[in-house]
Amino acid sequence: MTDTPKPAEANQPKEAVEAATTDPATDEAKEAGVAEPAPDPDAVPITIDGRSFSARKGELVIAAVERAGTYIPRFCWHERMSSVGMCRMCLVEVDSGRGPQITVSCMVTVAPDMKVDTASDTTKRMQEGVLEMLLANHPLDCPVCDKGGECPLQDQAYSHGPGESRFVEEKRHFEKPIPISALVNLDRERCILCDRCTRFADEVAGDPLIHFIQRGNETQVMTFPGEPFSSYFSGNTVQICPVGALTAEPYRFKARPWDLTQIESTCTTCSVGCRTLVQASRDELLRYQGVDVDAVNWGWLCDRGRFNFEAVGSPDRLAEPLVRGEGGLDATSWNTAMEAATQLFDDALDAGGGDGVAVLGGARGSNESAYAWAQLAAALGVTHRDAQLGDGLPAAVVDLPRATIDEAAAAATVVLVGPDLKEELPVLYLRLRHAATNNTTKLVELAVADTGLTRHAWRSVRVESGDVAAVTAALSAVDVAEQLGTGPVVVVAGRSNLAESESSAAAMIRAVLDAAPGAKVLPALRRGNVVGALQLGLRPVAEGDQDGLGILAAAAAGRIDLLVLLGVDPIADCPDTDLARRALAGARRVIAIDTFLTDSSSQADVVLAAAAYAEQGGTTTNLEGRVTTLGQKVTPAGTSRPDWMIAAELADRLGLEDLAAELASLEAITDAIAANVPAYAGATRAALAAGADVLAVATGDGGAFGADRPAASERNRYDYRLVVSRRLYDRAVGTAKSPSLAPLVGDVAATIHPLDLDGLGIAAGSDVTLSGPRGSVVMPIAADAAVPRGSVRIPFNAGSSVNDIVDGSAPVHDVHIERLSS
Amino acid sequence: MSVGTPIAHAAGFIAGDRPEIVTARFQYEDAYTLERFLATEGYEGLRAALAKTPQQIHDDVKSATVLGRGGAGFPAGVKWGLTPQGVWPRYLVVNGDESEPGTYKDRLLMELDPHQLIEGCLIACYAAGLSQCFLYVRGEMALAQERIAVALNEAYAAGYVGKNILGTDFSVDIVLQWGAGAYVVGEETALIESLEGNRGMPRLKPPFFPAAIGLYGKPTIVNNVETLCNLPWLARKGPAAYTAIGTETSPGTRMVAVSGHVRRPGVFEIVNGTTTFRDLIYGDEFSQGIRDGSELKAFVPGGGSAPWFLPDQLDLPFEGKLVGAAGSMLGSGAIMVMDDQTDIPYAALTLARFYAHESCGKCTPCREGGTWLARILERVIDGHGAPEDLDLLLEVGESICPGAFPHAASERLGLEAVPFPYKMTTICFVGPSAYAPIHSALTLFRDEFEAKIRPRTRIPVVAAAVAGGGS
């Protein structure tokens, strides 16, 4: 189906009427006189406004009627949340054999031979009455309201309202918008108390931080005293608000809906791959809205993904290429820069062949960019290439039998071994939380500390990093082993601790797979297109090829003549900061392709300005292997270019005419991927344009994954096992360069269990020294009961220097904590 | 005929020479103690019940047609039978959140004879197969809470409540819980929400009724205090003795509160179905007529949310079906009497304001409509009304209750009665209750509203030609 893209909140009655058509298959069958198929056991025959319709068993009247092509107005009902029947807008008359009864169509499911009347005089009278009452205290400040123009209240007042109001009393007054979080404002005068935001916060996000207070005519939505609505998902409440009561700070007063143009795209902030609508006005990105995709995000987005559009338009963006001259990096023309880059390639290839060149990164870009760079590297004999920097899992994880998000949500058991999904893959957290709270799936969690899913888990076991035996023990407990045998098992496998080596993390996952043979894997890797980049060749392939850490180590040892940084900042992104610094110093030449001048790219010899998200089209691959399109909505900043275009030009300049021809255009590369990469055979432009489910899953040998088990180390009982884990808001450019998100990073502290803090005799908030084999760092300490005893947790890339003492190749790190002597 | 006896320690209760099913112990000052209770056939009903099978007791209650005394008048025995089989646990919730304006019968039953209520709960749990009982008492009723708490402790200590009651294998726990002061919690689903610790907001009853999915998502029977208080007597004397009192459709007795402009307001236990409103308002043993020799103007037959009656309806018996056909309801059994000195629009406003104030805010027509109605009426009473405001009141009301709204017949106005029930766009009855007094007042006494609207002098606007040059 090629529906015009529309936000998940499509409340406009006109659209709905247009979009919904009667099932053409049935009509055709009737016309052709084809013998009727066997009766569907789930079919429920009902009559809607005199026309018969086949509803589905368990379907709500409002949904069945909408499927039949008639729109019943509504405010509180949302198909992804439970019905509450509060707004009373969807009242219709239903005759179930006892005469027409006033019925709340969002609460009642269809029953055989039900007669629904959506247009009776009583129905119309009720709809007009409810709308008049909803508008009675509504301020009607539509001309200055963000929602005006796309407002369900406005639209339905026109389509189903009485036309004028008889309310002449003074309206209810509240203080005009009050901030309920750093990102969301609440205007209680506009609020119609539909319970959507409060229900979302409670049911969907699991952050019940807003609720009704007062009662009757004074009822209002409010936060608890002194507690902001600081949910990672708060932006969704703005999107589902049927009026302009909730407005997003980053979008407020920026545009009117009719000024916006939009394109459907996929968010690449993390690897979940939520479908979005990218909206812009006058070539400036202004808003992302979630699109309801059954298989992935159900319309939801996390706040980081929703609001990091600000970084794309940041004034700090690299607008032109830079080449290092006498006095540092100088802006120059693309011709000069590409000449310089070509020269660096030629020099390096002449000096040491392909072995002296390495390509790091590519997880940020499109499939097309990854493919173009992988092909360029292959053509030049460059085998040292990796989209990861020792911050994920061994690349063979994408060769394991893969699960989809739907399969995980429908599995009998989901084993979580990896990060806190609420922090790293927030919308996957929502999907699994939904599965767990609706009792469809049992979660078995093996985590280094309490996570967002801990309270929804059937079993949650604390496992110290590196303790493979503990994983095996936890899963061989009688009840757990029994549960694993009850049905399909999906393992959500990721990296819980960046102070643990990749191979140690992989060994833990392997132990889970050994305990649950036949389980499918959903790789919980963080970066947007990391799965696509790995599957399209930005990974070590043959024995002896260096992975990310290996490349950095080789560079540090002076064995790399040319290091290409494809949208990566090793100093910030690699867990081993010291190694990254030494690598950048040790590589003879560095070319960086980046959107910002980062700690790493500022050390490069040539910096090529790259086009950012929404400035280029193409395709992307999410953690399931689902291939979806990226939309270009705005022109690239300055003269910046997509990564694939840079690869194509380099190929041309390096004399690789055939490759340059293959990479001639974005469409040509998409076609080449479909033609040349077996897993992507279904990812044709036609299939993608038609919105087909395209799953690209590499068929490799995952057998070697996690096979090498590092020696389990004993922890000295005076030491703490170091856990460095990601939080949603960190210092990555996407957040750091988004003014609305940057302040949310928060303070950094080393957190330990309150009892451990008591035992140390150190006051919370005081500075401590953490010492390990690599040296020591100083930071404040705080208590957090989520951290188990014996561990210390520090957020990654959030402003601390903890990664200075992390050795990327050491299986685990134990640190000593001491009060900082004054 | 006896004139009835006010009882000093039971303020408001007036005993009479009538059958007493639930108020027999009110004559004793220490009726609330276990000692007195046991001395007056206390817990004998429980013993009698335990001697039979639960099904037998259930059948007794069904055949006795014990109607719910909370307002809707649904037969208790039928309600008990609506729980799905084989779903455990299942609960009994006692609705002691009596808040309907004019109603104060349950308070007396809880204050004066708490053990009778506890005994009733136990019999209900035994008959309907319920394992746990929650006694929800209105927040403001401090004495009732205290006496029930003491009585529960006594009953637990004496082995009437708890594990293996009276040595049988029947066990029930009773938990006392008090409200936080919201009228709407008298509605059974809002009460369940409140019990669960949520805001007291009603749930939508279709698709699920509490009997199927109630407290904590389990089958739940919600019964009124007075309903349960009938059970010990019924269990002792049997259904035949019960149905011998009252009429076939409304057997037994009923607690009725009469308030307003009568000589002797009070609560009476009356024979169900036969006593007329004239008896209750004018009878010597009841309220003894209108105060100060005034005339009756109108009365509310069944609590503040019921449509009003006129003197035309005085001879109707206090019987649910007949009152319903005449355009009102018996509700919680509270008669409010208005004499000819009453400012009818103001009386309507007083009631409407109450319901607007008590709206929980969940559904739009009640939240917005109730307050809107009250504000229009306030304006009219303050002398700022316009003639069209009166029709507006009815039109706003129609957004809450579409279609014809019940009202009484009036010979004076040549009006036919519109029978109960009404249709409504709200979740529960609080919204329509704000409209009911306004609708009755406006339908039956429109002239009094019109008198409040001062004629306005309109300054005629005359189109005058604008002269070209000016003079």
pLDDT, tens digit, 9 for 90 and up, residues B397-428: 999 999 999 999 999 999 999 999 999 999 99
ipTM of predicted complex: 0.91
Residue B462, pLDDT score: 76
Identify whether A532 is part of a domain.
no
Residue-wise burial string across B277-299, b where 16 or more C-beta atoms lie within 10 A, e elsewhere: bbbbbbbebbbbbbbeeeebbbb
Question: Shortest CB distance from A88 goes to which of B357, B364, B395?
Answer: B364
Hey, is A764 helix, strand or coil?
Answer: coil
Query: The tokens 């004076």 sit on which residue?
Result: B412
Q: In this complex, do A136 and B372 lie within 8 Å of one another by their Cβ atoms?
A: yes
Residues of B in contact with A91 (CB under 8 A): 425
User: pLDDT value at position A822?
Assistant: 58
Tell me which CATH code domain B20-243 carries: 3.40.50.11540
- In terms of domains, do A780 and A664 share one? no
User: Does the beta-carbon distance from A193 to B361 stay under 8 Å?
Assistant: yes
CATH number at residue A788: 2.40.40.20
Confidence (pLDDT) at A3:
43
Counting residues of chain A whose pLDDT is more than 90, the rounded percentage is: 89
Does the pLDDT of residue A38 top 80, yes or no? no
Query: Contact at 8 Å (CB) between A481 and A456?
Result: no
Tell me which chain B residues have a C-beta less than 8 angstroms from the C-beta of A218: 361
Within this chain, do residues A359 and A428 fall inside the same structural domain, yes or no? Answer: no
Q: Which residues of A touch B204 (CB under 8 A)?
A: 83-85, 104, 107
- DSSP state string for B134-202: EEEE-TT-HHHHHHHHHHHHHHHHTTSSBSSGGGSS--BEEEEEE--S-GGGGSHHHHHHHHTTS---P
Average pLDDT (B106-135) is 96
CB contact under 8 A, B357 and A216: yes
Give the nearest partner residue to A216 out of B356, B365, B403, using CB atoms.
Answer: B356
Tokens 């001879």 map to which residue? B315
Q: For residue B414, give both structure tokens.
A: 């040549």
Quick one: pLDDT band at residue B1, thresholds 50, 70, 90?
A: very low
Mean pLDDT throughout A605-611? 98
pLDDT at A717: 82
Interatomic CA distance for residues B28 and B278, integer angstroms: 30
Q: Whole-angstrom Cα distance, residue A666 to residue A627?
A: 15
Residue A286: CATH number of its domain: 3.30.70.20
Rg over alpha carbons for chain B, rounded to the nearest Å, is 24
Whether A154 is covered by a domain: the verdict is no
pLDDT value of position A19: 38
Q: With cut-offs at 50, 70 and 90, classify the pLDDT of residue A32.
A: very low
Same domain assignment for residues A799 and A728: yes
What's the whole-number mean pLDDT along residues A399-426?
96
In this structure, the answer to whether residues A653 and A581 fall within a common structural domain is yes
| A61: CATH | 3.10.20.740
Structural contact between residues A509 and A466, judged by C-beta atoms closer than 8 angstroms: no
Residues of B whose CB is below 8 A from A83 = 204
With cut-offs at 50, 70 and 90, classify the pLDDT of residue B471.
Answer: very low
| Res A544: pLDDT | 83
For A627-649, what is each residue's pLDDT tens digit?
999 999 999 999 999 999 999 99
pLDDT of residue B218 exceeding 80:
yes
Concatenated DSSP letters for B283-311?
-TTTT-SBGGG--EEEEESSSTTSPPB-G
DSSP A264: E
- Of A670, A702, A734, the position where a domain reaches its end is A702
From the list A104, A130, A216, the residue facing B365 with the nearest CB is A130
Co-location of A400 and A351 in the same domain:
no
Any domain includes A223: yes
Q: Which CA distances in Å does A636 have to A245, A266, A284, A310, A527?
A: 34, 18, 10, 14, 22
Tell me the nearest-neighbour CA distance from B107 into chain A, angstroms.
Answer: 25
Question: How far does the CA of residue A9 sit from the closest CA of chain B (Å)?
Answer: 21
The residue segments making up the domain with residue A744 are 720-819
Using an 8 Å Cβ cutoff, are A642 and A610 in contact? yes
Nearest chain A residue to B357 by CA distance is: A216
Instruction: Report DSSP state, residue B418.
Output: B
Q: Is the pLDDT of residue A258 over 90?
A: yes
The closest CB to that of A107, out of B206, B372, B402, belongs to B206
Query: Could B204 and A126 be called an inter-chain contact, meaning their C-beta atoms sit closer than 8 Å?
Result: no
Task: Specify the CATH number for the domain of residue A566.
Answer: 3.40.50.740
Cβ <8 Å between B367 and A217: yes
* HSE-CB of B78 using CA atoms within 13 angstroms: 7
List the end-to-end C-alpha distance of chain B, in Å, as a whole number.
Answer: 91
Q: What is the pLDDT of residue A27?
A: 44
Q: Which residues on B lie below 8 Å from A105 (Cβ)? A: none
User: Residue A163 has what pLDDT?
Assistant: 87
What is the residue-averaged pLDDT of chain B?
93
Give domain status of residue A682, yes or no: yes
What's the domain count of chain A?
5
Report phi then psi at A754, rounded to 5: -55, -35
Examine the pLDDT at B207 and tell me if it is beyond 90.
no
* Per-residue model confidence as pLDDT tens digits over B346-392: 999 999 999 999 999 999 999 999 999 999 999 999 999 999 999 99
Domain endpoint, select from A676, A702, A728: A702
d(CA A491, CA A700) in angstroms, rounded, equals: 18
